[in-house]
Structure 1
């Protein structure tokens, strides 16, 4: 007979075990090659997709981040081009942490300054440390709301009227939200239906990994491959237009994660 612990759903495990402060301290205490990989590729995508003009904030693109967690850094580049950004997460504690940061002043920016400075330098050769504060202020002004999200539901935004979106960003989310590889295509489908025709889905995550740790608890994730991602996207009418990988050994070895490489994928909705 299965134990009470074994009968818990993955969602229940997250609700009980995931601690935003620990997660930030453990995985984001210092910028590393993996963070730079994500931020550089996001910057390049938005610069190419949204054009070279630097004073067009908010005129066109509606952006959604699926699975924001308690982390504001993956919408930094988006905030240069859009003031219509929606962040979302399954966990109430993550949403509260992110809302707390969005409504705070510079005294709460310490953890994120190195990330903002890195992006500021991508945007301008003349960026100094003060630019990091300005970039984080820009994020605060660009995020319109932080809402609940469950990618296992056919309506992931749970009744919100925000969709459709021109661009959806999802970082280390979908492969961690599903309990088996069979659920992965459905999660992709649920998210893609929030995209406008010709919209873009940007995903970043880990390949071949089976867990990551929150304190002493191993949080399971599916063993994701490029073939699984390609198949799921093709099944919902999306085509991969950009694919990059970063070998695992370029990240700090002490991070409690077991994937073999990070990936950055941009897919376009063709219908």
Structure 2
């Protein structure tokens, strides 16, 4: 009863006097999100998070994508898929959607007491790499490569405003657009904004939740722009990007639709103009 009342109050507030981003900043809880999705073994982790991790870990572990700098844009405390990238990039920038997430990331980077426990996901990533025994070392190497932890706003021409960074060799987008916009028109504008962070010829990697309209964090229902793979690929081609690889992983778990209602996960690897960031080109 309490959770239903809470949800009703929040929906009324959002409709009356709060933008999506104000709503997100007020109610988002990065620790609760991690507990819900990536902290422990669960059916949801095995179905969804592994689908998200596998292509990214494979891509980074192969060394096929590398360079000086990588910018990651995600919605919460799940960047463990970046651990293999430590071997192929000199500097990594983590960007997040909420001010609340930044101190949590920084505390983990400093390995402070009370920091979030990423051990389960770290072990999964190490196992996917084939070096489970190195899961602690992988985290420590990654910590040395992270040079910035910043907040993004995809509605801005410079999503990292007021910070200005050199354009990156690789840009990774994980649910960052769909969680901050409310229409396909605003998605198009936001995509153009984030693509300015990638240098010409750079590698664009995307994880897209297919046909998801909401996701839950605790008792709070957060809206998510409902899109499909065809829409995203058209947006990329309209921005003169070439799709190098698409993998679509249909949802297999039949339960937990009350947690998030996606129908699948898509991995997209694309580039614009050249393949300069590919080591074999």
Classify the TM-score, shorter chain: 0.7 to 0.9
Matches of 1:252 and 1:142, distance apart in 2: 38
Matches of 2:103 and 2:139, distance apart in 1: 18
Q: Displaced runs of 4+ in structure 1, greater than 6 A?
A: none
Which of the residues 13, 21, 24 maps onto 1:14?
24
Q: What value does the CA root-mean-square deviation take over the aligned residues? A: 2.4
CA spacing shift, 1:24–1:87, aligned 2, 3 Å: same
Alignment pair present for 1:249 and 2:256: no
- The answer as to whether partners of 1:166 and 1:200 remain within 8 angstroms in 2 is yes
- The answer as to whether partners of 1:83 and 1:144 remain within 8 angstroms in 2 is no
CA spacing shift, 1:255–1:32, aligned 2, 3 Å: farther
CA spacing shift, 1:217–1:260, aligned 2, 3 Å: same
Matches of 1:83 and 1:115, distance apart in 2: 23
Matches for 1:233-244 after TM superposition, within 5 Å: 233-244=236-247
Aligned to 1:24: 34
Which of the residues 148, 172, 181 maps onto 2:151?
148
CA spacing shift, 1:128–1:195, aligned 2, 3 Å: closer
Count of paired positions? 259
Give TM-score, length-normalised by structure 2.
0.84
CA spacing shift, 1:71–1:47, aligned 2, 3 Å: closer
Aligned to 2:84: 77
Matches of 1:95 and 1:84, distance apart in 2: 18
- The answer as to whether partners of 1:70 and 1:95 remain within 8 angstroms in 2 is no
Alignment pair present for 1:113 and 2:119: yes
Matches of 1:91 and 1:255, distance apart in 2: 23
Aligned to 1:42: 56
Unaligned runs of 5+ in 1: 52-58
CA spacing shift, 1:123–1:185, aligned 2, 3 Å: same
Aligned to 1:209: 212
- The answer as to whether partners of 1:79 and 1:138 remain within 8 angstroms in 2 is yes
Give TM-score, length-normalised by structure 1.
0.87
Question: After alignment, is 242-251 or 82-91 more displaced?
Answer: 242-251
Q: What secondary structure is seen at the aligned counterpart in 2 of 1:249? A: coil
